[in-house]
Amino acid sequence: MKKTVFYISLLLVILLAFASKSYLSKPAKSTLSGISPGNIKEHSTHADSIDSAKTIASLSLNEVQDENVVVKVNIDAYNSLTMQQKLMRVLREDKDIAVDVLLALIDSGMIGVNQPMRDSSSHTARSDHYTPLYTALIANHELSVAELDEFLNRGAFINPELGAWKRAIGSSPEQISVKMLEASNMGVSEYNEMRDLALFYGNIELFEHTNLNLGEMSSESYKKFYEAMQPNYEAFYSQLQTLNNAKDDKCDEVDCSSNLKKLKVMVDASEKQINQISLLLKSGVFSSDEKANMEKYLTEFKRKKELLSK
């Protein structure tokens, strides 16, 4: 009897193991059933290129899969638009997927990789810089290195002679600003200008890159910059102090919604000042009194920033 029970138990274990193996070996049901491979381009990152110009041009709706997110790029919606209208649609309606849209438009042949998108006849300022890459920078202020590469690999040109491009490089995120500077092939005089802009925008990586190539900025230049900016630091510091004391009996600095909104705007703006002062202090050219003053500003700006992050 005991042997019978043992063999029955053994048989059940074998059957369960076989059933589990059979289940696990079955392919998972695709979440994309009903969608043909030709309509889906799988991307490992948000900036991977789309198959080819021919494929995109033939699609009325190109779906770009970014990990688990499907981004829909409506190619036909742009087909009948003027260049100015394309620009407006990217910036107003497709801003969140601007990079994908612009790359798709380039690959489809609807726009040239360096074609100005803004209508110069309706603007007093020059529009030569308003290329697809420049438009992507405006639409997406956190453009990644991979996304930048997508434009550069297609032949995007950064004109070193245009002030708009210089300002775009200086104000771009640190991770792409240096690469943009190198891609622009600027000369020494432009590098000097870019170093000044990097300090103004508080772009630490770009400033250190230009300093490395040009040699350390002169003590006189550091001091002139501080003299020009110090009234702004003091005014900003005073405003933060005022906001810090603007309390009533019902709310404190964090809980009071009106104070919190004002504080957030100012703290967002203080990021540039924090980086500027950090670079100035690092230079080692200032007196002990000047350094103490800068450290006072820096401490307060950072304290407010930490307060908001809690």
Domain containing residue 58: CATH number: 1.25.40
Give the end of a domain, one of 151, 186, 214: 214
The answer on 43 and 139 residing in a single domain is: yes
**Cβ burial 6-37 (10 Å sphere, 16+ → b, else e):** eeeeeeeeeeeeeeeeeeeeeeeeeeeeeeee
pLDDT tens track of the chain, all 310 residues?
444 444 444 444 444 444 443 333 333 333 323 322 233 233 333 333 333 333 333 333 454 444 444 456 777 889 999 999 999 999 999 999 999 999 999 999 999 999 999 876 665 566 889 999 999 999 977 899 999 999 999 999 999 888 999 999 999 988 899 999 999 999 999 999 999 999 999 999 999 999 999 999 999 999 999 999 999 999 988 888 776 655 444 455 555 666 667 777 777 778 899 999 999 999 999 999 999 999 999 998 888 777 766 6
- What kind and span of H or E run contains 234? helix 219-245
Q: Give residue 8's Cα distance to chain centre.
A: 64
Decide if 82 contacts 119 (C-beta within 8 A): yes
| Count of domains observed in the chain | 2
Assigned token pair, 3: 């042997």
pTM surpassing 0.75?
no
The phi, psi pair for 70, rounded to 5°, reads -100, 120
Give the end of a domain, one of 214, 240, 270: 214
The answer on 169 and 108 residing in a single domain is: yes
- The pLDDT of residue 57 is 36
The answer on 226 and 163 residing in a single domain is: no
- The pLDDT of residue 308 is 65
Give the separation between CA 121 and CA 276, rounded to whole angstroms: 38
In one letter, which amino acid is 90? V
The answer on 232 and 150 residing in a single domain is: no
